[in-house]
Structure formats: structure tokens, C-alpha cells
Amino acid sequence: LAALTWLALSTSTSAFPLNVTVSQQCTPLNVTWKAVPESFPYTVWIAANHGFVQTYRINSDYQPGAEYITFQYIVPPPSGGFTSYTVAVGDSRGDGNTTQALGINTPSTSSSDCPAFSGSAAFTYAADPRNGSMIQCGAVHFYNVGDRGTRPFTISFIPLGGTPVSVQVPDRYTLN
């Protein structure tokens, strides 16, 4: 798996511009990027500050023929585990981008009558360094904890302000 992680992280990826509107509770957040026909499908991740993620797949029929894709996300009201979040967009070629942390504006005139953030960890995983300490560019062993999740696994790394990277973990490299 460490070799797979190194291979996936060493491939060439590039950030493409993301434009986002103001983040305000119960209001659509517009996330816009240039559509490239060869890059579908796109994946959009909404990553809450408490670690849970919502994932959306954007296929070529989402806004057919559009020069730019605009994904709308209704921003939930803040809660104990949802006070900020990031938005990441990745394409099928390994390109993408991630916003910095977005706070949630709550003007006194805004509505809070919309669903709360709901996300859950599809499975719990652990990561152990191969050499005893976590260092930049060091080998890391990832594995799921318990019996949740369905193999094969995909692990996505979503760096702030950078290109998200997904690593497909083949069934033969999983431990349980």
C-alpha cells in the first residue's frame, strides 16, 4: 500500500481555479469551475471541520454543454461539529483544487430553517508510519478498523488550497 500511495502522490496533478460565493447558512454556496469534457466525472467533497465528508459525483449530463460547471450546496447552519468546512473538486484525470477553510456567515436576518450537516465516516481507518514517525514523504500504512466498509477502498487526501488525490486500494492489499 505504501508503494501505491507513493505512486498516486507522485503522479502529475494540477490545481484548477475554483470560484465560490459567500458561505452563509441556509443559502446556496455556488462552486464554479471550467468544464473540460475529457475530465468527467468530477467529484465534489464537502469536508466538515469535525472530519465527516459529503461526496457528490458530477457526470457530464449535470449541465450539458456548459462552459463552466456551477455546483450548488445549501450551507447548513453551524453546529457543534460544523463550524467551518472546505470544498474540494477533483476530476477523472487527477486535477482539482481545494478551498481554504470556509466559515459560515450567520447574519441576524438569515434563516436557520434548513437541514443540519449530516455526514458520517463510511469506515474508520488508521495510519501508521513505516519507520516509527510521521515525516513528510514518508511511507504510511493505511488500514480499516473493524468490519465496516466495502473493499476495494478509495482513500482521498484533501489538502487545503491544493489538489485532492485519491488512492484506490485493491482488495488484495486490505488487511481484513
pLDDT band at 9 (very low <50, low <70, confident <90, very high): very low
Q: What beta strand segments (E) does the chain contain?
A: 19-20, 28-34, 42-48, 53-58, 68-74, 84-90, 96-98, 102-103, 124-129, 140-145, 153-157, 165-169
Put simply, whether the predicted model's pTM sits higher than 0.85 gets the answer no
Q: Residue 42: is it exposed, middle or buried by C-beta count within 10 angstroms (0-12/13-18/19+)?
A: buried
Q: Mean of the pLDDT values across residues 128-149?
A: 71
> For 139-168, what is the mean pLDDT?
73
Residue 77 to residue 104: CA distance in whole angstroms: 7
**What pLDDT does 5 receive?**
38
How many CB atoms are located within 10 Å of the residue 168 CB? 11
* Distance, CA of 79 to CA of 24 (rounded, Å): 13
